[in-house]
Structure 1
Amino acid sequence: MRNESKEHTMSTPHTLPRRQILQTLVGLGGWLVSQAQVKDAMQFVASSPEETRSRGQNDVKESTQGRLVVVFLRGAYDGLSALVPHGDPSYYALRPNIAIAAPDGSAQTSLQLDDTFGLHPAMAALLPLWQQGVLGVIPCAGSPDATRSHFDAQHHWETGLPGKSSAANGWMNSLVGLRPNSRALGVGEANPLILAGSAPVQLVPRGQAATRAGSMGDERTHDAVLRLYAGQDALSKAFRAGADSRLQTSQTLTEAQMSMQTNMVDARQMAAADNGAGPAKGLLLDAQHLATLMRRDPHLRYGFLSAGGWDTHANQGAATGALANNLRALADTLVQLRRDFSQANDMVLVVSEFGRTSAENGSRGTDHGHGNAFWLMGSQVNGGRWHGRWDGLAQGQLHEGRDLPVHHDFRAVLAQVLRRSQGLTLTQLDGLFPGYAWDHALDGLTRA
Structure 2
Amino acid sequence: MKRPERVLLVGRHFWPHGAIDSAGHLMELATGLHSIGLHVEVVTPKHATAWPERFYFREFLIHRPVRMFKQGWTARGDRTPSRYIRLLRDWIVDYPASIDAIVCDGTREESIAAVEAARGRNVPVVLRLAGHGESSDLDFFQQTRMGQRCRVNAAAADAVVVDQASSHRRWLALGGDPQKTHRIANGFGATIESGPKLRQRLRRSMARINGDLFVPDTSTVVLSVERMRRDSGVMHLVQSAYALSQHIRGLQFWLVGDGPARDTIFSRMRGDGLRQMTSMPGSFALMDDVFVAADLLVHAGGEGFEHQIPTAIVTSLPIVVANTPAAREYFSATVQQVNSRLMTRRPTAVASQQRPDDHQTMRTTAESAEPCDLVWWFDPERPKTLRFALEQIVADPPAARQRAEQLRRLLQRRSPRSAALQKYRDLIRQLADARTTDSRTKRAGTAG
Query: Which band: TM-score by shorter chain?
Result: under 0.3
* TM-score w.r.t. length of structure 1: 0.28
